[in-house]
Amino acid sequence: MKSYLLYGVVGTSEAALELDRHLPRSAGEGWVMLHSSGDRVAYFAVRPDNLERDLPADHRERGPNVQADISGRHFHDDASVIELLRKIQRAVGGVIRDDDNAEI
């Protein structure tokens, strides 16, 4: 599995609303991105706080985040996941980072 995170979004409800606009809800918590074949490409979730608790209170990545976990079968389908995260980012702000903490 590979993950991307959109850190520091304006709020959990705003991020959830944006995800609702673009993706169906999964059977569990969160949302799912489907491939045209029906396979699950990625799972999305909204988290209430950045796990990096040592960030200063005014840091741009502090606060709620959107996490996208790409399925192993679609490990190389990054482009569609990043494209969706960018749409959400335009609406709710934040910074997109990959597993290596590199800004996207």
Q: Per-residue pLDDT tens for 83-100?
A: 999 999 999 999 998 988
**Residue 77 belongs to a domain:** yes
Per DSSP, the three-state class of 65 is strand
**Residue 103 belongs to a domain:** no
Give the CATH number, domain containing residue 90.
3.30.1400.10
- Cα end-to-end span (Å), the chain: 18
CB of 86 closer than 8 Å to CB of 18: no
Backbone phi, then psi, for 56, in 5-degree steps? -60, 150
**Residue 13 belongs to a domain:** yes
Instruction: Give me the number of domains the chain comprises.
Output: 1
2-31, pLDDT tens digit by residue?
999 998 898 999 999 999 999 999 887 799
pTM (2 d.p.): 0.86
